[in-house]
Amino acid sequence: MIETQDLSKRYQKIVALDGLTLTVERGEVFGLLGPNGAGKTTTLKILTTLAKPTRGWAKIGGHDVEREPLKVKRLIGVSPQEINLDKELTAYENLWIYGMLHRVPDLKTRVRELLEQGGLAARARHFVKDFSGGMQRRLQILRALMSRPQVLFLDEPTVGLDPQVRRQLWDWILGFKAAGMTIMLTTHYIEEAEILCDRVGILSRGRLIALDSPRALIGRLGGYVLESLDKGRRRYLLVKNPEEAYAQAQGELEGVIIRRVNLEDVFIQLTGERLQA
């Protein structure tokens, strides 16, 4: 459903994306992982026709994003990282105008349906500027769903939200996945990627440095991590099992944590950097 080949983007001397080649299958939830500046948003901008690549190509549903942008736009729904709703308009008006832009049939019914689905029906005629951050994010994702897209792009969909709202949005995304939608999301929340994504691509400084399911990536490192304090700095030691961790931790009781390996450990192993600032 999404295909890229040697996709690259350069901003003067800065290489934002360098030779990204990947394929995302229909119905898959694919996560792009990486710290700020890794190239996640640039990838999404190219795939959603907002930026033109300087090298390589990308296709959505078989349509080239550069040569057939209108066909691509008919297939996609986008929720960008920043809230770009019209805050001086109501929730209903925001959805209505977006629906008109996408020529959604039976628009009135669709807008009502989405507002109910998002639990915003009672606030339909309220100005978006009066909504909480979580409500605005929900409305933005509802807007992306308006045209019943085949591919949904979510750029940091839960950034800045409290844990309760974040989990609520995870349930939504899992619901979209169950309905067969192809989803590409970017995140720097490890738990989010592990829970939601069938596969993840790890980006570092514009390059794809790993691509597999979260389970397979974690499996490559072994089972457990022993975290300890070494002269005030945290030290990470990969071990196969808790027994080995206990053996290694002997004599170091202060600040010792034994836990399962997660995607953050994969990222640190690959790049030497932490994923979350």
Partner 1 sequence: MDWYPIFLREILLFGRRLLRLGYVASALLMPLLYLMAFGLGLGRRVAIGGGTYLDYLLPGLVAMSSMINSYTWIANGLTMGRVYFRTFQVYLQAPVSAAAIVWGEVISGMVRGLFSSVILLVLGHVLGSSLRLSLIFLLTLLLNCLLFSAFGVVVGMRARSHEDAANFSNFFIMPMAFFCGTFFPVEQMPRVLQMAITALPLTHTNLLLRTPAWTPASLESLMVLGGYSAACLALGILLVRRYSE
The pair of structure tokens assigned to 204 is 């570092």
Angle at 142 between CA 117 and CA 277, to 5 degrees: 115
Nearer of residues 41 and 262 to partner 1, judged by Cβ: 41
- Contact predicate 27/38, CB 8 Å: no
Nearer of residues 43 and 262 to partner 1, judged by Cβ: 43
Query: Among 48, 158, 182, 186, which residue interacts with partner 1 (rule: CB under 8 A)?
Result: 48
- Contact predicate 38/204, CB 8 Å: yes
Size of site (CB under 8 A) for partner 1: 25
Q: Which amino acid is residue 70, in one-letter code?
A: L
Query: Among 5, 27, 64, 89, which residue interacts with partner 1 (rule: CB under 8 A)?
Result: 89
- Contact predicate 264/272, CB 8 Å: no
Shortest reach from residue 72's CB to partner 1, in Å: 9
- Contact predicate 177/195, CB 8 Å: no
Mask for 100-119, x = binds partner 1 (CB under 8 A): xxxx----------------
Shortest reach from residue 11's CB to partner 1, in Å: 9
Beta strand pairing status for 199-204 and 207-212?
Answer: antiparallel
Q: How many CB atoms lie within 10 A of CB 70?
A: 8
- 1 part of the interface to partner 1, by CB under 8 A: no
Shortest reach from residue 168's CB to partner 1, in Å: 24
DSSP 213: -
Chain positions 26 to 45 lying near partner 1, rule: CB under 8 A, are 45
- 59 part of the interface to partner 1, by CB under 8 A: no
Nearer of residues 81 and 117 to partner 1, judged by Cβ: 81
- 254 part of the interface to partner 1, by CB under 8 A: no
- Contact predicate 118/107, CB 8 Å: no
Nearer of residues 102 and 205 to partner 1, judged by Cβ: 102
- 49 part of the interface to partner 1, by CB under 8 A: yes
Q: How many CB atoms lie within 10 A of CB 182?
A: 24
- Contact predicate 80/225, CB 8 Å: no
Query: Among 62, 97, 108, 219, which residue interacts with partner 1 (rule: CB under 8 A)?
Result: 97
Angle at 133 between CA 131 and CA 134, to 5 degrees: 95
Query: Among 20, 78, 111, 183, which residue interacts with partner 1 (rule: CB under 8 A)?
Result: 78
Shortest reach from residue 102's CB to partner 1, in Å: 6
- How far, CA to CA in Å, does 223 sit from each of 72, 205, 264? 42, 27, 13
Nearer of residues 73 and 188 to partner 1, judged by Cβ: 73
The pair of structure tokens assigned to 152 is 């949904």
Question: Where does this chain bind partner 1 (CB under 8 A)?
Answer: 45, 48-52, 70, 73-74, 76, 78, 80, 82, 84-86, 88-89, 93, 97-98, 100-103
